[in-house]
Structure 1
């Protein structure tokens, strides 16, 4: 269920060409919404119910082998509800809704084949905050129990209930994820996944890289936010930013079968006001045409002293679903400006890490700013060539422009907090990305064996330019991080013309075959991707360096389900990063290394306990690195960083009124084969060995419509550099709290009004963010203070 909607829509795959067979059902007597979620998953059909009708209704238990019409009739017996067919949906409503009570029946003439991706969302788990699976790139949609990876898909309801503003914060209940640079600093809102940096360039939009705004993507675009842990070169191709810890995919919003009319007014401390509107409609006899429009604007000071933010967004998503053809188009515009930039902190040698509770929250100046504008468009199409054979293609374009003026850091020189500012500058950037993907997905049964075959070819092309201006003279301004500072605005000019500084092309061919048997109890996938990386650096119109290398990236995965509600899985998969061009300081200058191959081994077990799903896995990720041979003065790829860890994740309902999502990750990141063996066996910097995240959503049983949320995040201490003696930032615990109250909308028959109150960092913890590549302690940033969010939303 999505909080913005007056209905609960539960998606599952159906088959329009087969009469409903008898299936085993096991659904306890429970609330109508939870029972229909279980029914949709077990029956393999699509179900919708008005959320106002669903409140307070409990269904009958269903157990045994029967057809799905028999199961739903038994489940709804005595409730005063019945069902009818509406296109490809089963609609549950009052008995006056002219139900169609049938025996064996075909489920809607426009049901999607298993090879479809457009409009083929996986069902939602009990509680409505997490989906049962998501997109796996070339492998298509998979349920959690059939996915040979650790994957979590957060819904728009999860985002709405917590009033989450950016995609990074939508992942806050994932234990393998940690944010790096703080919001309001000059860098991207990057994250770590399993200890490896993943930036905005490594996030995808509907499976396409290069579309998401790199600085920070806002959540109003998203129907789902999916995170797949571990490298995925086979699944999606090489990510443009070289991220190998995992991938984040944004599933764009689409119009639902039920009309959507949603407006929201919100307030964020301190004195930031905004609003959000969301409209969705479907048209045509069978609702073939859909249109979804989202608009948002917010402006004002944030909870960080001296910091302000302006954001605006417009998103349009349209789709067409015909019998054998599905089309979609997305257009988006995002604006983001930060005033009062938070500078980084660097520490001179021997200076201990400052106490975050004593340091000023914002050491920036009011004249500093960073401004970005992004506009993009994506078009996708699918055609069912034969039964369970689908051809697909997509193309996307993204333009970005940005300007800024700031000094990015402060160097701390002693234990008393004295230091000086870094040199200020003004810069401007522009970039354009064009990406395309074509492929075929097919399913073929040969006796007891089923083959799911996929082929894809993709191409990512980007050009970018950057210019900067510096003041002619800049005195060494002395500062103290405990007392604050006052720095005048410098006189800086920057050229209006931004020449192209780099060109890059990533192109690949991928093939995968999943062989399954015994009703998918055994699934083995083997695949291969051929990746080519081409890039040029340009200065004053002249090419200064070129890169052109090709790499093969194989993968093997397996799923074994000895019992209906349990699956064992394993994967051996690689990630790719662009290799180094050796610079002139080495004897082998000019040598071009092939793309670095990151290799992951992972074993896990998943249990579907009915209302929630638990995943436990162990993994090892090996990332190559360069090593300087001091005797020969050469640079070689002989280094290695190995991350070993274990994870436990749970999602769904623990008890009737309490749903949870989160878990724990323990990780041991070790450096190996370093320069001269100097750091061999040491823990890698900027990675916390213990990470715990758990989110709770509790529907108060004695007050109808009242709910509470809580998110607990614990991060242990981590080193911030390699040299010995090593400095570290202390561990921290953060608590986010929220409550909401839902009441009937008096001016809309099936609408509601919702009041939201959320408090991020309710315990007002002072802590340093996780490092993210800060091996020289050069870019520490402080976390945001306690932040209040209040909103009133209405749907009609």
Structure 2
């Protein structure tokens, strides 16, 4: 790096970009010079704020080296830009109003100049997208974060399981990766709500109820415990995970047994992956205070630093606490998070660690309720939002730790290993359900005293490699995975003796005689182990890509008597899961793709009441067929696809008293998704899903051809973010969510939920932080979820026949965030 000492050390530090690899490459210099000379259009997204930070982003996105007079940048700001520009057009716009200009500086570089200023520094080459990404190969995962689309709320790619990161145009699936900007702009509190603008995803239980923060994806249940953390299952807290832990949240739609292995809970609708936070090149110190209606207050601290001469070492620490009454009547919640992410990136090796602790406590838990077969679905606006008792309480705490390593064995050959450990504890004494609700709106209340504990250890080993020949590129991936979980649970029930509960009233439950358990015995264990191989062969500069792979999955489980510890049942089966995927690019900015892939769920051990008692079914194999087309229109990416997923199930033959694996549900759907910048300053993410869920094979054929319960056939979501051009730093967000009606169960006559529409609105204002010397920002956020306070039933997925919960009421969130 070259710099003069005639400028202040503080300003030099703020402008130096680490890593000198590209400077030593003559090829890179030539490419950069050619890029400036030809003035090709490039997609830029640069935030308003500090001019020095904006020039960092400019150099990152254009691959153009710049020199600058450090003193001339002190305190200067820019309005930023977003869209397609040549390098010089973009630089001109960034410098508007600053009194600065530029001149060619040789070797393809540009020099920022100001009157009477001659001292200058040479900025080192920048890193593109990820932490020290210019130092890591494309086969790496650590320090290799995919870049973002214009608007910064959605990334251009994401993790494809064992195959590593892929650009969205090289991914043979419908996948969306939501960034930290999306989470911050809407002040989202949990991982489930990060996906609220995805039409293929619907939430189930309301936050604040005894149920987990589960979802349905493409009409199939997705347990919160089946989310992965950096690609590893069994790490994130089971009831739900706070959003402050995530750098990005990726959702890949459809089953993916080859890519990720079998999920512990057997979810097949999709894969949701949390990308942990890492320290970036720019130091981060952000403090936030927030308020959530009705009287919940909290704070968040986010620190990130890189250390060492080459900034090889990074630390990212997060701390959050939030407590108080929620917008749901007689309900309060406490949440806390402490997490630390560390990484070390060297020339041919990379390491990372994550440690975390999350605590959540709910008082006045919101019960769900179930209906008698003859009872019509009540109107949502006639039901009390909270039928629980003030003493109803549950809490859970989770500890987790993950270590990852990568070593480059040869050029474009990377071996990796990961190991993670998590511990989960929960206790509850709550009015969990109001059951057998009749046509007059009365039901029976029951109390649950529950205790759950689990310990999970998960590990992964693998190799990713690229081999280039004259005509072909071959990308190979090998993976071995193992997940081990030991768990215990205690459940006690007590029916309330005060009689029936009216669901539109305000019940007053007496304190029960049972109490939350202390000791929790070991009652179950589960082991999922697998090996997998995948090979992608590409030709014509990756315009044709064919992938084939196979995973061998072994599923082992056992149940134990809570009192004696004696094993009561066991399961041990193996399944093969092949997959074939293809990508074809008829045009430079167009991708046509297809996939045939499977999902896995643990099979059933036939119970003692059946004629074939003791029979063990092999893991259920769900199969997906999907074809789609993607268009990269520069500012945004659009996707259109159609899919079919067939999920097997058991059915009972009354004449032979045999339980067999002959049932099936088939979901066929069409999805349209869009992400990026529609016009200057207007960014969008969302789309439409049309789905036809059918019961194709049922018991005795009685309901063959019926629409499956718990799946809405039309789902529309659109999230908009508009930066006002005439008020610098002022932006507005809106999220529209439409869910059509869905059937409750398979009882005749059929009952259904009505459809609903929800509107969320938000605004934020960002200005220079007056107490920051490094161009820090001061941001004010106001978000309102469910602006019209619409009452609706949650989309329940497979739970529809059993549980009903209301959607969340109108909720205000206000926060002030300052970075220094």
Deviation at 1:77, TM superposition (A): 9.6
Cα offset for 1:74?
9.7
Task: State the SS of the aligned residue for 1:424.
Answer: strand
1:25–1:39 distance in 2 versus 1, CA, 3 Å: farther
Decide which of 483, 486, 489 is 1:460's aligned counterpart. Answer: 483
* Aligned residues of 1:14 and 1:111 also touching (Cα < 8 A): no
Give the SS at the match of 1:357: helix
Please give the alpha-carbon distance, in whole angstroms, between the structure 1 residues aligned to 2:173 and 2:725.
Answer: 36
TM-score, with normalisation over the residues of structure 2?
A: 0.89
Equivalent residue, structure 1, for 2:10: none
Match of 1:546 among 570, 586, 605: 570
Query: In the aligned structure 2, how far is the partner of 1:567 from the partner of 1:25?
Result: 26
Aligned mates of 1:158, 1:614 — CA distance in 2:
18
> Cα–Cα, structure 1 residues 455 and 31, in superposed 2: closer, same or farther, change >3 Å?
closer
In 2, the alpha carbon distance for the partners of 1:9 and 1:485 equals 63
TM-score of the two chains, using structure 1 as the length reference: 0.92
Alignment of structure 1 residues 28-427 onto 2, 5 Å: 55-56=78-79, 80=101, 98-99=121-122, 111-421=135-445, 423-427=446-450
Considering only aligned residues, what root-mean-square deviation do their CA atoms show, in Å? 3.2
1:768 aligns with 2:768: no
Residues 784 and 665 of structure 1, relative CA distance in 2, 3 Å threshold: same
1:3 matched residue in structure 2:
none
Q: Of residues 487, 498, 504 in structure 1, which corresponds to 2:526?
A: 504
Q: 1:737 and 2:745 equivalent?
A: no
Residue 520 of structure 1 corresponds to which residue in structure 2? 542
- For residue 753 of structure 1, give the secondary structure of its aligned residue in structure 2: strand
Q: Select the residue among 758, 782, 792 that pairs with 2:783.
A: 758
1:63-109 CA distance string (max 9 Å, x none):
6xxxx9x9998998996368999xxxx9998776623699xxxx999
List per-residue Cα deviations over 1:461-517 (Å, max 9, x = no partner). Answer: 00000113345x842522111122111111213542211100100000010111111
Query: Could you say which residue in structure 2 is the equivalent of 1:481?
Result: 503
CA distance in 2, matches of 1:359, 1:515: 57
Aligned residue pairs total 774
CA distance in structure 2 between the partners assigned to 1:293 and 1:556 by the alignment: 41
Question: Comparing both structures, which one devotes a greater share of its residues to helix?
Answer: 2
- Aligned partner of residue 773 in structure 1, secondary structure: helix
- The structural deviation recorded for 1:344 is 0.9
- For the residues of structure 2 that align with 1:658 and 1:717, how far apart are their CA atoms? 31
Deviating more after overlay: 25-34 vs 229-238: 25-34
Contact 1:110–1:323 under 8 Å retained in 2? no
User: In the alignment, is residue 27 of structure 1 matched against residue 41 of structure 2?
Assistant: yes
Counterpart of 1:450?
Answer: 473
8 Å contact from structure 2 (residues 67, 120) kept in 1:
no
Deviation at 1:61, TM superposition (A): 7.5
Q: Distance in 2 between matches of 1:501 and 1:8?
A: 57
Report what 1:648 is aligned to: 672
How big is the shift at 1:645?
Answer: 0.4
Cα distance between partner residues in 2 of 1:182 and 1:725: 28
- Secondary structure at the residue paired with 1:168? helix
2:514 match? 492
Tell me the secondary structure at the aligned position of residue 477 of structure 1. strand
Cα distance between partner residues in 1 of 2:254 and 2:77: 39
* Per-residue CA distance 1:134-182 (angstroms, 9 max, x = gap): 1001110001001000000000010011000000000000000000111
Deviation for aligned residue 1:784: 1.2
CA distance in 1 between partners of 2:477 and 2:357 (Å): 33
Contact 2:92-2:101 at 8 Å conserved across structures: no
C-alpha distance 93-765 of structure 1, shift in aligned 2 (>3 A): farther
Give the counterpart of 1:603 among 627, 635, 638.
627
Matched-pair contact (CA < 8 Å) for 2:294–2:325: yes
Change in CA separation of 1:625 and 1:18 when aligned onto 2, cut-off 3 Å: farther
Distance apart, 1:216 and its partner CA: 0.6
Contact 1:10/1:124 (CA < 8 Å) preserved in 2? Answer: no
Name the CA distance, whole Å, in 1 between partners of 2:321 and 2:103: 42
- Check the 8 A contact 2:288/2:816 in 1, yes or no: yes
Do the aligned residues in 1 keep the contact of 2:415 with 2:462 (CA within 8 Å)?
A: yes
Residue 435 of structure 1 corresponds to 458
Q: Which stretch has the larger CA shift, 39-48 or 631-640? A: 39-48
Is the CA contact 1:116–1:382 (under 8 Å) kept in the aligned structure 2?
yes
Answer yes or no: is the 8 Å Cα contact 2:80–2:94 preserved in 1. no
List runs of 5+ in structure 2 lacking aligned partners: 1-13, 49-53
